[in-house]
């Protein structure tokens, strides 16, 4: 099962309003100014330990090389990355109708974690599962783990019934 994360305001947060992972050492803290929400390292590693594929799905145009390099400093490896460029090419393509900025179902992602209300509404409209995470919350990682397990159990039950 695949779980994807948005970056801005989900994994990358403002340290003025959120507890964060330790800042990278110089000069990497200049190359990668983003700060990770506290618990990100634990959450990603725990999801992977439990057998989930973990993806980044962001509408930002940061390159996959940049994202991989940043997270490598935290010893995190993502199974795949969808950025704004890839989404535009693979999802939107040449369609005349404008699709939402994220379509996790296109990549068979079972659960997407995001902060934007528009993505939550698009999940309902286009039939993909999305969990909203935006406010500081000491239990955010545990809530995501519980939801990922709930959805995995639901999907396994649906497959068993076919």
The neighbour count for residue 6, using CB atoms within 10 Å, is 23
> With pLDDT > 70 as the criterion, what percentage of the chain qualifies?
99
Determine if the pTM surpasses 0.85. Answer: yes
User: What span, in angstroms and rounded, lies between the C-alpha atoms of 69 and 160?
Assistant: 39
How far is the CA of 113 from the CAs of 14, 22, 27, 89, in angstroms? Answer: 18, 22, 30, 22
Report the CATH number at residue 86.
3.40.50.1000
Overall size of the chain counted in residues: 162
User: Any idea of the CA torsion for 65, 67, 73, 75, to the nearest 10 degrees?
Assistant: -100
The number of folded domains in the chain is 1
> How sure is the predictor about 161, in pLDDT bands with cuts at 50, 70 and 90?
low
Q: What is the mean pLDDT of residues 48-53?
A: 98
Q: Does the structure show a pLDDT above 80 at 77?
A: yes
For 137-151, the pLDDT digits (tens) are 999 999 999 999 999
Contact 131, 147 (CB under 8 A): yes
Region 104-112: mean pLDDT is 96
End-to-end CA distance of the chain: 18
Decide if pLDDT at 162 tops 80.
no
User: What's the domain range around 66?
Assistant: 2-160
pLDDT 10s digits, 33-50:
999 999 999 999 999 999
Query: Average of pLDDT values for 71-95?
Result: 94
């Amino acid at each position: 099962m695949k779980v994807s994360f948005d970056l801005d305001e989900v994994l990358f947060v403002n340290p003025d309003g959120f507890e964060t992972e330790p800042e990278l050492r110089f000069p990497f803290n200049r190359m990668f100014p983003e700060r990770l929400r506290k618990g990100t390292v634990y959450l990603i590693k725990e999801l992977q330990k439990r057998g989930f594929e973990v993806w980044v799905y962001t509408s930002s145009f940061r390159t996959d090389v940049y994202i991989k390099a940043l997270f490598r400093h935290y010893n995190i490896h993502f199974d795949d990355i969808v950025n704004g460029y890839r989404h535009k090419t693979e999802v939107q393509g040449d369609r005349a109708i404008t699709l939402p900025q994220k379509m996790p179902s296109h990549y068979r992602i079972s659960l997407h974690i995001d902060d934007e209300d528009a993505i939550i509404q698009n999940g309902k409209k286009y039939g993909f599962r999305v969990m909203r995470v935006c406010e500081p919350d000491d239990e955010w990682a545990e809530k995501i783990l519980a939801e990922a397990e709930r959805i995995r159990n639901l999907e396994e039950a649906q497959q068993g019934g076919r």
